[in-house]
Structure 1
Amino acid sequence: MTNPWAGEVVVHLDGAPHVCKLTLGSLAELEDGLEEGSLVDLVQRFECGKFRARDVLALVLAGLRGGGWSGNAEDLRTVEISGGPAEAARAAAQMLARAFSQPESRI
């Protein structure tokens, strides 16, 4: 079970649930790995619906790492995310929203 008040989102990899959370450390890793722009640029791409598959993959990976998962990008490329790309994008957007909102406004 996830705690949205703590910014958590669940993602199912090969059918197994994993808690994702964008921590400061995982956000720093994410920012280092962005091919262009900053975290603000990434948030804007999601807000405008102009995100790319690599943005979704990077966010899901950062969230998984923040939740304690020890895998890497190559591991993530070889698993099935339940719900496919649409669910991965939804989870990524939800992680961003929860990471940058006040606790009382999270759902």
Structure 2
Amino acid sequence: MANPWAGEVTVVLDGAPHRAKLTLGALAELEAALEVGSLLDLVERFEAGRFSTRDVLALLVAGLRGGGWQGGPADLRSVDIGGGPLEAARVAAELLARAFASPEAR
């Protein structure tokens, strides 16, 4: 379903696959939601393994909204994310990596 060449990742919510992508608008929403100095700070937290569940939730919401999902944080808190918390963190990290990778590196 997701096109990795376009920076997309699949997130499974309540058994249904959804496309997620960190568009420019989604990145701006993410930056505001997390109140980080820059998105580089967030990338560094993920690379160092110092991310929080709040970071994961905000990344997933932003990515899903970038993929066309109309929900918000409260909606995501009430669904089953396929693969559980570990998969949610992996998908969040992959969203960040794909958003900042050159097309050749994808």
Q: SS where residue 68 of structure 1 aligns?
A: coil
TM-score between the two structures when normalised by the length of structure 2: 0.97
Q: How many aligned residue pairs are there?
A: 106
Question: Structure 1 unaligned runs (5+)?
Answer: none
Counterpart for residue 29 of structure 1 = 29
Corresponding position of 2:69: 69
Deviations for 1:26-81, whole angstroms, at most 9, x for unmatched residues?
00000011144321110000010110000000000000000000001100000010
User: Gapped runs of 5+ residues in structure 2?
Assistant: none
1:51 is paired with a residue of what secondary structure? coil
In 1, distance between residues paired with 2:25 and 2:63?
10
Residue of structure 2 in register with 1:98 after alignment:
98
Residue 97 of structure 2 aligns to a residue whose secondary structure is helix
Q: Distance in 2 between matches of 1:94 and 1:14?
A: 20
Give the aligned partner of residue 86 of structure 2. 86
| C-alpha RMSD of the superposition | 0.8
1:105 is paired with a residue of what secondary structure?
coil
**SS of alignment partner, residue 12 of structure 1:** strand
Q: Which amino acid aligns with 2:57?
A: L
Per-residue displacement from partner, 1:69-99 (whole Å, max 9, x unpaired)?
0001100000010100000000000000000
Secondary structure at the counterpart of residue 2 of structure 2: coil
For the residue of structure 2 that corresponds to 1:10, the secondary structure is strand
* Residue number in structure 2 paired with 1:15: 15
Runs of 4+ off more than 4 Å = none
Q: Distance in 1 between matches of 2:61 and 2:5?
A: 20
Q: % of aligned pairs identical? A: 71
C-alpha deviation, 1:2, in angstroms? 1.1
